[in-house]
Structure 1
């Protein structure tokens, strides 16, 4: 029997590549996105390869939209085996120069969307006594970075949410939890982040922040020029890690997707790289 997987944010990048890869590997994929007008590339792949992928509208910032998509799948197939919380939006700007709307938006998409999608799936996974929730976070969910503090804060929140959830739903209801933590991804993600968050002058920072920002940009460019292949992964490379997690009978709480990401987070993760020891300790302490 094919496993059903619901993936959010599948119009481009990791979500698009994951939808195709999971379908190629025998999953029935429900590929969701806020605007199905952006599904042309996925539709093309479905037709070319006769992939078992169904497109559904799902806006992770709208609870009714989430519930409607979930209900559609349940009415059709009766179960959802894997949820991949992939939808997200980059944001790079100083806290001081960010508007209230921008702050709320980056939190809504990157954190609240994960919580509400997970909340919508939990009753069904609990009832069927099986399931897997994979959230695509970031090295920014472990390590705060300049001009990314609002984005990192939302991803830190996802890490904490999933870590807390893993301490009791895994044993009680056989629901597996994993955070997949990419570093740089060579997709439209960062380009979109910059385009959405630059001000009228085209800068992410101004005034006294500008010299710091210019050093930040110069450092990023230097690292990219020196080690582009090591830093930046393709969406497919990250999707391959996600598939391995889904196929793992006993997946870890955390997994970085590249050596660069592993090295970048080492000071935070060296005592417990995959989070397994900590979850075990919390279970022993509280349960």
Structure 2
């Protein structure tokens, strides 16, 4: 039986790469976008969905079920970046980021679980970030929102296991996508105490994305998870040093690890 896969945020970047790879592998793939009519050159159906709008989530899932009668895999990929010193970043922007990166995926999970429970099967894959394993300077809110999604993955995994539903998280490092264009950037204020350091780090972040991995690496990792009979709860996908940084955090004293990060970000 052909598996039905539902991917949020599939109009570009990692989400689009995953969708197109799974189409090649003969999965029945549905992607979502806030404005599907504006998306061109797509090889799979795109449904309208905004993770901030629970009604749009219900309509998209209902449309999928009407067409296919089931949902085998949910890939919670929709998300957005945010940068800025915590002191300078508007609190409303922080809340908005959590709404997209944390509460949004939870709402999608809540919408698909009744169908997966009824099927007694299903796989939920939450796309987080290696940044979610550590508090990164000038990306603290992004780190926190993705770290929260990592932890909620552990909780939901235990809650739904008896229904035959498998829940995992996949944390990508820097990938060559257009994520930087969609970020909320706190302005570099002239009178900010962080002006020079933050400006330098903004340039560094964009450089990391520009030299990031091919999104197809992420697509292949997701396919491996879908086909795995026994899964881990957490996966990390990225360059060696990105993945090794998570290991270092576990084994080094806190302040030593902090010093390494500060040196890396020239703080």
The two structures have a TM-score, normalised by structure 1, of 0.81
- Distance between the aligned counterparts of 2:13 and 2:191, measured in 1? 31
Q: Which residue of 2 aligns with 1:98?
A: 89
SS in structure 2 at match of 1:29: strand
Q: Is the 8 A contact 2:7 2:31 kept in 1?
A: yes
Question: 1:136-191, CA deviations, whole angstroms, 9 ceiling, x for partnerless residues?
Answer: 10011111100111111111111111111112312x01111111111111110023
Q: Which residue of 1 aligns with 2:185?
A: 197
SS in structure 2 at match of 1:59: coil
TM-aligned CA deviation for residue 76 of structure 1: 1.8
Question: 1:263-283, CA deviations, whole angstroms, 9 ceiling, x for partnerless residues?
Answer: 12113457xxxxxxxxxxxxx
Q: Is the 8 A contact 1:182 1:261 kept in 2?
A: no
Alignment of 1:1-287 (within 5 A): 1-42=1-42, 46=43, 53-170=44-161, 172-193=162-183, 196-199=184-187, 203=188, 207-214=192-199, 216-217=201-202, 224=208, 232-258=212-238, 259-268=240-249
- Distance between the aligned counterparts of 2:22 and 2:190, measured in 1? 40
C-alpha root-mean-square deviation of aligned residues, in Å?
2.3
- Distance between the aligned counterparts of 2:220 and 2:8, measured in 1? 16
Q: Is the 8 A contact 2:173 2:242 kept in 1?
A: yes
Structure 2 residues not aligned, in runs of 5+: 252-267
Q: Which residue of 1 aligns with 2:264?
A: none
Q: Is the 8 A contact 1:31 1:56 kept in 2?
A: yes
The two structures have a TM-score, normalised by structure 2, of 0.87
Q: Is the 8 A contact 2:89 2:186 kept in 1?
A: no
Q: Which residue of 2 aligns with 1:273?
A: none
TM-aligned CA deviation for residue 77 of structure 1: 1.6
Residue correspondences, number: 251
- Distance between the aligned counterparts of 2:59 and 2:101, measured in 1? 20
- Distance between the aligned counterparts of 2:171 and 2:18, measured in 1? 15
Call closer, same or farther: CA 1:72–1:205 in 2, change over 3 Å: farther
SS in structure 2 at match of 1:19: helix
SS in structure 2 at match of 1:116: helix
